[in-house]
Structure 1
Amino acid sequence: MVGQLIVFEGIEGAGKTTQLQRAAAWLRSQVTVPVLTTREPGGTLLGQELRHLLLKVRGEDEIAPRSELLLYASDRAQHVEQYLKPNLAQGAMILCDRYTHSTLAYQGYGRQLDVGLIRQLNAIATGGLQPDLTLWFDLPPEVGLQRIQQRGEPNRLEREALAFHERVRQGYRALAAQDSERMIRLDAEAPPDELEQEIQKILQKSLGQPLS
């Protein structure tokens, strides 16, 4: 059996995590295979430690961009080997909050590191594991940052300047243009219930089976 890897992507405050949980609940009522949820960073015990390091507000002891890139790659390599590949081999459907497109958008376009180098690093970290489908929640960065402010203390990435988040959004746009068949844009300003319905339709079509 071969499972499905469906990735939810977007800038801070886009609502992808909420929609991922809604989609998982719906899918569990529709399919007989296990439906699992996970995230990057943080999908393994090691990943949880790396997530804390990456998102902690650090003050003067800031993480250098290349160090940040390598920490994300370490999280991904562990996640792929310890969680994603074994569960996919058992036929599970996995909904993942962020994957390789995040690194390209945030570290490539946001931090302005070499995108070609990041693609090579992603290939090493994933062992070639590609998503079957990526849902991109597109949102103006100023709207996303306003949402972040309303829900509590922002983490290290959420504190980045608006220009950084604008570059990240442009990165997602470029990536979607390069892979329009497997990366689908969603308007993250739409009401949550409308988004949920649209996602269900996309998943139904992607899975190629009639779902009730």
Structure 2
Amino acid sequence: MVNPTTAGKFIVIEGLEGAGKSSAIALVREFLTQLNDAEPVCTREPGGTPTAEKIRALVKNVSDDDPLCDEAECLLMYAARAQLVANVIKPALANGQWVLGDRHNLSSLAYQGGGRGLLPLVQAVSRATLGDFAPDLTLYLDIPPQLGLTRAADRGALDRIEQQAIDFFERARETYLTLANADENIEIIDASQPMAKVHQDILAVLKSRLTA
């Protein structure tokens, strides 16, 4: 292919439930492996470290007799993210490795910020935990919530967050789009298209943004 840069880069895949993140991640992973002749470090959020995975379990499967309040959900997401960034992502980048993330900070801005209506809290905690750290490139897979949730339901049982009301996801999508349109490092991909076309669009962005 082309000669990759020597410095590691952080690439993130974002999107609502059912947007096709899993297949997109597999595609991007293969592209980056060919580009750099080395597999990227792959992460997921929340999760990615032993401590962060325990937090993921708390967020995904909360007992009905102790429901997770919105503010606690937000803080737990950032606790897991801080662990992942400090112990996996930044060390990998410093070592010249590329990192491919399944979600990152944009998810919290959209879900907890837009969906839960906690944007001031999310922004404050983001600044406190991440500072100016951000992905080099984010691919946001945009899909209407109803279509995405239908796809997600076809995969099997929905988790706690996937079971939220449709207006929660409408607010999250609106926030995603607002933030994506304001950030040159976020590319919007129409994920409602057939998968072959979605993958074609993803590859076009990767070639444009990551190769000389």
1:59-113 CA-to-partner distances (Å, cap 9, x unmatched) read 2421000100000010011000000000001111111011111101001110001
Q: Which residue of 2 aligns with 1:204?
A: 207
Q: Which residue of 2 aligns with 1:178?
A: 182
In 1, Cα distance between equivalents of 2:126 and 2:145: 25
For residue 126 of structure 1, what is the aligned residue in structure 2?
Answer: 130
Tell whether 2:79 aligns with 1:74: yes
Which residue identity lines up with residue 208 of structure 1 in the other structure?
Answer: T
What CA distance in whole angstroms lies between the structure 2 residues aligned with 1:168 and 1:79? 23
Look up the SS of the partner of 2:42 in the other structure: strand
Partner of residue 19, structure 1: 24
- Distance in 1 separating the partners of 2:110 and 2:98: 25
- Over the residues paired in the alignment, what is the CA RMSD in angstroms? 1.4
The correspondence of residues 1-212 of structure 1 with structure 2, limited to 5 A, is 2-113=7-118, 115-179=119-183, 181-209=184-212
User: Deviation digits for residues 23-59 of structure 1, max 9, x if unmatched?
Assistant: 1023212323541211110111111111111111532
Alpha-carbon separation, structure 1, partners of 2:12 and 2:35: 19
What's the offset of the Cα at 1:206? 1.2
Q: How many angstroms does 1:127 deviate by? A: 4.1
What percent identity do the matched residue pairs reach?
39
Q: Aligned partners of 1:55 and 1:189: how far apart in 2?
A: 26
SS of 2:35's equivalent in the other structure is coil
For this pair of structures, how many residues does the alignment match?
A: 207
TM-score (norm 2): 0.92
Regions of 4+ moved over 3 Å: none
User: Structure 2: where are the runs of 5+ without partners?
Assistant: 1-5
Cα distance in 2 between the residues matched to 1:109 and 1:54: 18
Please list every run of 5 or more consecutive structure 1 residues that lacks an aligned counterpart in the other structure.
none
Question: Using a 3 Å threshold, how does the CA distance of structure 1 residues 33 and 91 change in structure 2: closer, same or farther?
Answer: farther
